[in-house]
Amino acid sequence: MISIKTILVLFVVLAATYSIVTPIFEASDELWHYPMVQWLSNGHPLPVQDASNVGPWKQEASQPPLYYWLMGAATAWIDTSDMAEVRVENPHVDNGVITLDGNRNLVVHDPAREAFPWRGTVLAVHVVRLLSVLMGAATVWLTYKIALELFPDREYLALGAAAINAFTPMFVFISGAVNNDNLTMTLCSLALLLMVKRVRESSESASRQLGNFGLSVGRWLPLGIVLGVGALTKTSALALLPIAALAISVVAWRKESWAEFFAGAAATAIPVLLIAGWWYLRNLHLYGDPTGINAFIEVLGRRAAPADLAQLWGERWGFMLSYWGLFGGVNVPLDEWVYHVLNALAIIGVAGVVIYFVTITWRWFREDPIVSWRDFAYEFRDFVQGRAPILLVGLFGVIVVALLTQWASVTWSSQGRLVFSAISTWSIFLALGIATVATSRLARPSLAAISIFMFSVSSFAPFTTIAPAYARSAPLAARPETAEALDVTFGDRLKLIGAQTRAPTAQPGGQAEIILYWQAVQPIDKDYSTFVHLIDQNEIVVAQRDMYPGQGAWPTSQLRVGDIIASRYVLNIPSTAYAPDTLTWEVGVYEFAGGRRLPTAAG
């Protein structure tokens, strides 16, 4: 295995590449995270959520503010008064939907404005992204340190865990984005490291003297500060609190010291209350809920009916896609075979973890035969205490999954990246599981091979997946000869000069595809929307597709006179559509605000 320094260098290069290649505001929720950064950087007070009057930050104003304050302070020197011109939302984007015809861009991009050298809002976004990359690097290093604490004689396992963490494509992508998850992951990993170290260092024969109280407070205080900072970064960090309580209890139990317990409780609870308590009191005052989750959901939206476990299980494919790598607005996937390989590794890893715990339990059972139930209770207590560090790390992951399950049952949030607060847990356990299945002889080469594979996937993705998803098609010099010639002008601005269908028939539940060729006939000062309908003989719309020209990448205000843009439209035919039937293509241009259609004139 390579060294941790090499892993960190490779990660920083990868994440910085993602941060540069991904167009601004095209990373998960960055479109709403950055306005919070900009708002606070300009000295404004924290927004108050109002579902009837939502700001550009949408639900993110319900998040604890520390990440936004820090990033705002780091970019306060940049003039971001051009944010409204840079951050123009695409009203037709297929957010969270993987489509055949693109239209993935969350915002309308101006290549000239976003080109290097960066300036204004574009510069500020890239500065925050690069700072987030450093947070990601810290998380990778902390994963390594946690694994080394758990398995001090197996550094290859710690390196494997760090590499899995560093080269998970979605982790690299998020680390190169404006997202409070980056600080959350770092703080959660740091808190786990502090707890694991404290539990490992605790002595079985510690003194119960009251004089140790001050020393114990000093040992637990760093954890309390990290927990408080985490609670002021994201509510998901609150999952650390029961783990901290267990860690304190284990140490106090080992020392047989109530003083240790109360010292740990005070040293962790008081910093949390001092650092983050005001935020939760503010939420309670404003929204009647200390977490502010109710206001968050009112803005985000909820499912029509809560999902049960069976429905959530049915969403597992999308969950795993967004854990391994589903870029953009959760609508830019990797090649499908990559997910199958990574999911297979995850299954092997889970099996390996089960084998690991069964093996150590069976070994303990054989080495310490049960004489009486009393002896069993003491022996089992010692067995659990001896493995408390890894159990605490694993339990944190269990709590994170349980909280996401509850959250996803209410909102459409079955996304794997939402368990990244426990990314250290998942990376360590995956490495452990793989190493267990591979056995000691093949553990090192197996982890090395997996690390190389994940690094390769992450290295190619910016250039083979992300960049092509947002690439503009070049204007055509003329209509292709294979296209049907048309001459229809919309509002004396935009002309439809050709059309080309892929197939004359389509089945219910299938797709119908058409390519239209648009040409600007005079300068256009607005971004007009185009639509394609399939209508039946009663003029009922059976299927439709709306987007800006060029798969959403060519807003009409950026077209030059004479530019010809090819636009591909794939319409999904409802499975309930009547058949056989004769459908007719209907094409139009309209203003999205108000819906006014431009008049047509045939040439």
Q: Averaged over 50-67, what is the pLDDT?
A: 94
Residues in CB range of 464: below 8 A, 6 or more apart: none
pLDDT in tens, 158-206: 999 999 999 999 999 999 999 999 999 999 999 999 999 999 887 544 4
Domain boundary among 465, 493, 525: 465
Element (DSSP H or E) covering residue 564: strand 564-572
> Does residue 207 carry a pLDDT above 50?
no
pLDDT 10s digits, 82-119: 999 999 999 999 998 999 998 999 999 999 999 999 99
What is the per-residue burial (b if ≥16 Cβ within 10 Å, else e) of 536-547?
eeeeeebbebbb
Is 524 part of a structural domain of the chain?
Answer: yes
Cα torsion through 252, 253, 255, 261, rounded to 10: 20
Query: Looking at the domain assignment, is residue 476 inside a domain?
Result: no
Distance CA 397, CA 350 (A): 13
Question: According to DSSP H, which parts of 168-257 are helical?
Answer: 169-175, 181-201, 212-231, 240-255
- In this structure, are 452 and 524 located in the same domain? no
User: Does residue 471 belong to any structural domain of this protein?
Assistant: no
Same domain as 214, residue 141: yes
112 and 11 together in one domain: yes
C-beta atoms surrounding 308 within 10 Å: 10
Return the DSSP state at 247: H
Q: Give the SS3 label for residue 233.
A: coil
Average pLDDT, the chain: 93
Give the helix, strand, coil percentages of the chain, each rounded to 5.
55, 10, 30
State whether 504 and 378 are in the same domain: no
| CA distances (Å), origin 52, targets 44, 60, 212 | 21, 15, 55
- For 271-300, b where at least 16 C-beta lie within 10 A, e where not — what string? bbeebbbebbeebeeebeeebbbebbbbbb
Question: Which of 465, 495, 513 is the last residue before a domain boundary?
Answer: 465
Instruction: Choose between 207 and 44: higher pLDDT.
Output: 44
Selection from 125, 135, 127 nearest residue 230 by Cα: 135
Asked if residue 61 and residue 200 are part of one domain, the reply reads yes
Residue among 594, 602, 593, 592 nearest 531 (CA): 592
Q: How do residues 283-304 score in pLDDT, each as one tens digit? A: 999 999 999 999 999 999 999 8
Enclosing domain of residue 574: 484-602
Same domain, 427 and 551: no
Measured in whole angstroms, the distance separating CA 455 from the mean position of its chain's CA atoms is 19
Q: Are residues 439 and 543 in the same domain?
A: no
Sorting pLDDT into bands at 50, 70 and 90, what band is 427?
very high
Would residue 75 count as lying in a domain?
yes
Is 32 part of any domain? yes
Same domain, 433 and 538: no
The total number of structural domains in the chain stands at: 2
